[in-house]
Structure 1
Amino acid sequence: MGYISVKIGKLFMLMALFLFLGCSRKENKPEAHVYIENKEGKFTLYRAGAPYQIKGASGFSELEALKEAGGNTIRIWDTVGLSSVLKKANENGIAVIVGLSLPESQYLSFYDDQAKIDSQYKAIKKTINIHKKDPALLMWCVGNELVFPVRPKYHNFYKAFNDIVELIHQDDPDHPVTTTVLNFNQKDIFNIRMRTDIDLISFNVFGAIKYFKKDLKDFSWFWNGPYLITEWGIDGPWDGTRYTAWGAYIEPTSTKKAAQYKERYDQYIPAHDPRNLGSFIFFWGQKQETTHTWFSLFDEHGRKTESVSAATAIWTGKEGNDTFPKINYMLLNKKGAYDNIILKPNQPVNAELLMETGSLKPEKVEWEIYPEDWYRKGNVNNLVRPAAVSTKFNNTADLQITFNTPLKEGPYRLFVTVTNRNGNIATSNTPFYIAIADNNEKK
């Protein structure tokens, strides 16, 4: 009887140990495990067992500068060069939300072609399984700014989308799945919730960020899940930005953009919302979109604009130590961008740059003229940077030059980049139009 009792006792001890080890294995998730916890409406993102608050930037370059500024996450749109991006991110302690690009739902010819769907599925499956254990990976984003319609003809789009989401949940359960929508559209959110199984919704919001808090509150009766703001920033050209008589959008100076980034975050980003897992400033790097400076926090040489300092203040709560040139505005023949500057071919022009009071004298001033071709393509967000117009600039005084205008009729911009002693820059540009008066002048 005693022997049996000892046997039974040992059996219970082994069972208890087994259960303990089993529970321990269940609780000690892999280092790469990322998940979202919901405690009474308070959503928390966990990474490697600890809460992780995203301080993000949309972009894939200047990662050392991102780390120095206090950022910890980037968001990319596709898988081009993904291995290199993940490696560089990991070296800098930066997490990555990886975009899996999909055709927009309106492309029914794609979604009605099973061969194309199968090919896309296989390519994404391969990507998932190659990179799912990468330590820099934070989550997957299926598509960018997709529209989620309700009509039956989009059935194949939803099936393809959901198959990819299910694939990720099965092959890589350690990383959440999101998708992005443009602005806060109740129809999109309704259809995402009712017809998909993603883990959180992400928003790209620019001018409409002013209404974002109210939009969230007004629709919380239907959807009150976690979210990210995967793109936010200054007004885009599409956000009611003023434009010239010929349709050229007027871009603020980099100095004014820096102030708008900080002001916009403080006033409109719901940083303390218990549903908000973080936000991504746009654009960390240099990007051609309408102009090569509009959204760029850096130039193509990696030089910082003052908006990097604004991002530092947002992420750390402290102003950075960097100093930046501060541009007030630019004049062409004593006229500003809002004056609709129309000039003749080969006309001598005086350009003058006005710095803010107290701004130190720049170390270097670079002038360039670029033609504009957005009107030909019917796309204000022209993503191809045109070639600069070969122009001779003559310095006449500090921050003043003269030049002769281009010979060809059409819209142009005069750009200036000002560099200070520590290599930081400020940028400004002014649109102008070359008009040929009559047929004789055209000859």
Structure 2
Amino acid sequence: MKAIVSFVVPVLFATAIAEPGPLTMRRNADGPWELVRDGKPFFIRGAGGHQSLDVLVESGGNSIRTWGIDALSAKVDGKPLVERARELDITIAAGLWVAHERHGFNYSDPAQLEKQRKEIRAAVAKWKHEPAIGYWGLGNEMEGPTADGKDDRIWKELEVLAKIVKEEDPSRLVMTVIAGAARPKIEGVKNHCPSIDILGVNAYASAAVAGKAVKEAGWNKPFVLTEFGPSGHWEVAKTSWGAPIEPTSREKAAKYFSTQQIATEDSAGLFVGSYAFLWGQKQECTATWYGMFLKSGEKLPSVDAMARAWTGKWPANRCPRVEKFNCDAKGRAVKPGENVAIVLEVADPDGDKVELQWSIAAESTDRKEGGDAERAPEEKKLAMVSTGENSWSFKAPDARGDYRLFLIVRDGRGAASAENIPFQVR
């Protein structure tokens, strides 16, 4: 019989009725790591965000990831997130925000360091008895999303913070999250942060091979893919004027599915689960690039893809499918007021009647780093003229500039697809 190395923690009791305790981790002496919940293996089928949790559970998900401590008390379906998570039996990777230097924090300033340490300690002390918290997520890309990872001040301070978390709550594992699987970052955590139990990696175009990179860099504890989704707007082809070309809904769905499958099958013994990004909606480069839902609440094909990856089955109601979306203006310049032709083919897997919504917006100019909040450009409804079966046209704006044409296809039953193309008027 193979030896078992276990990290055992006590089960928490929120009431007289026992509830599942925090996650623990264990491995065979020469085998893979696994997480354990309530005495049973627990593989993370998770998503980043805390909206539409009923859809997450229906899709086969079992965990969510948050970034800051305030999210635990955010109202979800009219209740605090932790209460709703308990009802749905969802674990939370509870984020403890660790400051970034690009936001003005100085890791050489003792006063700032001490203030952050007290805030982390207070947050853990406040929430450590909450049964829905599976483990702590200490920091998100605090080394800087574009940094080389060689600043040891940050890793050494991270260890100080990890020790504080474990002093306050010895029952839970602690994860930290880095941007990408660059060797210097992984080595920074490995060499300076022995109190970190789980390494989280945010990755997009390279997400499927992040586990291999983590192992090759010498990490030998559990690994979680903490953000993955479509290729990032910094990783795709651009127009001649520098506008990123967003993947189609179908391309995104395929990327989510393939990443989950490859990461799971090629785990290298370290992989214990993942969090798809983003289970909600946000403005980042565009209003539709990373969100798996529309702002109006409809799910997008990426949700269906994760349901298939998690359960092996498609959901009962699937998103409409954009089979073809060709536009004369895609990636090029047109004249002011020019008529632009479109060929569109849409199919709904369930035979639902679909509704098309067209809009236009100026190209976003409020670009930030690392997912920081961006201001969304104003979208205006666009009048379309049908010119035949599956063919349409619209009039380009009179004002010169950079634009995006947006298309939303809804089935009227909570499912949709979203497409956009960049074009220029000059």
TM-score by length of 2: 0.85
What's the C-alpha RMSD, in Å, of the aligned pairs?
A: 2.8
Q: Distance in 1 between matches of 2:9 and 2:157?
A: 34
**Alignment partner of 2:45: what SS?**
strand
State whether structure 2 residue 188 is matched by structure 1 residue 191: yes
Residues 104, 379 of structure 1: alpha-carbon distance in 2 compared, 3 angstrom cutoff: closer
Q: Distance in 2 between matches of 1:191 and 1:71?
A: 31
User: Retained in 2: the 8 A contact 1:97–1:138?
Assistant: yes
Q: Which residue number in structure 2 is paired with residue 354 of structure 1?
A: 345
Residues 377, 364 of structure 1: alpha-carbon distance in 2 compared, 3 angstrom cutoff: closer
Q: Distance in 1 between matches of 2:163 and 2:232?
A: 35
State whether structure 2 residue 200 is matched by structure 1 residue 202: yes
Q: Which residue number in structure 1 is paired with residue 333 of structure 2?
A: 342
Q: Distance in 2 between matches of 1:212 and 1:81?
A: 27
Q: Which residue number in structure 2 is paired with residue 32 of structure 1?
A: 21
Residues 42, 402 of structure 1: alpha-carbon distance in 2 compared, 3 angstrom cutoff: closer
Q: 1:175 is aligned with what amino acid?
A: R
Q: Distance in 1 between matches of 2:346 and 2:310?
A: 28
User: Retained in 2: the 8 A contact 1:75–1:96?
Assistant: yes
User: Retained in 1: the 8 A contact 2:175–2:200?
Assistant: yes
User: Retained in 1: the 8 A contact 2:286–2:364?
Assistant: no
User: Retained in 1: the 8 A contact 2:96–2:137?
Assistant: yes
Q: Which residue number in structure 2 is paired with residue 307 of structure 1?
A: 302
Equivalent runs, 1:378-393 vs 2, <5 Å: 383-389=374-380, 391-393=382-384
State whether structure 2 residue 75 is matched by structure 1 residue 76: no
User: Retained in 1: the 8 A contact 2:368–2:374?
Assistant: no
State whether structure 2 residue 79 is matched by structure 1 residue 89: no
Q: Distance in 2 between matches of 1:319 and 1:149?
A: 40
Q: Distance in 1 between matches of 2:352 and 2:253?
A: 20
Instruction: Between 274-283 and 205-214, report the one with greater CA deviation.
Output: 205-214
Q: Which residue number in structure 2 is paired with residue 44 of structure 1?
A: 34
Q: Which residue number in structure 2 is paired with residue 168 of structure 1?
A: 165
Residues 430, 324 of structure 1: alpha-carbon distance in 2 compared, 3 angstrom cutoff: same
Q: Distance in 2 between matches of 1:110 and 1:399?
A: 57
Superposed CA offset, 1:382-412 (max 9, x none): 8322111354444555654443322332211
- Percent identity of equivalent pairs: 29
Q: Distance in 2 between matches of 1:306 and 1:289?
A: 19
**Alignment partner of 1:267: what SS?**
helix
**Alignment partner of 2:379: what SS?**
coil
Residues 288, 331 of structure 1: alpha-carbon distance in 2 compared, 3 angstrom cutoff: same
Count of residues in correspondence between the two structures: 399
Residues 380, 89 of structure 1: alpha-carbon distance in 2 compared, 3 angstrom cutoff: closer
Deviation at 1:358, TM superposition (A): 8.1
Superposed CA offset, 1:311-361 (max 9, x none): 1111112222223211133233xx263xx3212233333433233698957
Q: Distance in 2 between matches of 1:277 and 1:63?
A: 21
Q: 2:28 is aligned with what amino acid?
A: K
Alignment match of 1:405 (pick from 396, 403, 411)? 396
Q: Distance in 1 between matches of 2:133 and 2:384?
A: 48
Alignment match of 1:289 (pick from 284, 287, 296)? 284
Residues 210, 42 of structure 1: alpha-carbon distance in 2 compared, 3 angstrom cutoff: closer
Q: Which residue number in structure 2 is paired with residue 428 of structure 1?
A: 419
Structure number with bigger Rg: 1
Residues 191, 213 of structure 1: alpha-carbon distance in 2 compared, 3 angstrom cutoff: closer
Instruction: Between 37-46 and 170-179, report the one with greater CA deviation.
Output: 37-46
Deviation at 1:422, TM superposition (A): 2.9
Residues 217, 134 of structure 1: alpha-carbon distance in 2 compared, 3 angstrom cutoff: closer
User: Retained in 2: the 8 A contact 1:329–1:428?
Assistant: no
Alignment match of 2:216 (pick from 211, 215, 218)? 218
Deviation at 1:140, TM superposition (A): 1.1
Q: Which has the higher helix share?
A: 1
Q: Distance in 1 between matches of 2:370 and 2:127?
A: 36
User: Retained in 1: the 8 A contact 2:332–2:423?
Assistant: yes
Q: Which residue number in structure 2 is paired with residue 181 of structure 1?
A: 178
Deviation at 1:290, TM superposition (A): 1.3
Q: Which residue number in structure 2 is paired with residue 253 of structure 1?
A: 248
Deviation at 1:265, TM superposition (A): 2.5
Alignment match of 2:44 (pick from 47, 51, 54)? 54
Structure 2: state its 5+ residue gaps.
Answer: 1-7, 13-19, 74-79
Q: Which residue number in structure 2 is paired with residue 243 of structure 1?
A: 238
Q: 1:277 is aligned with what amino acid?
A: V
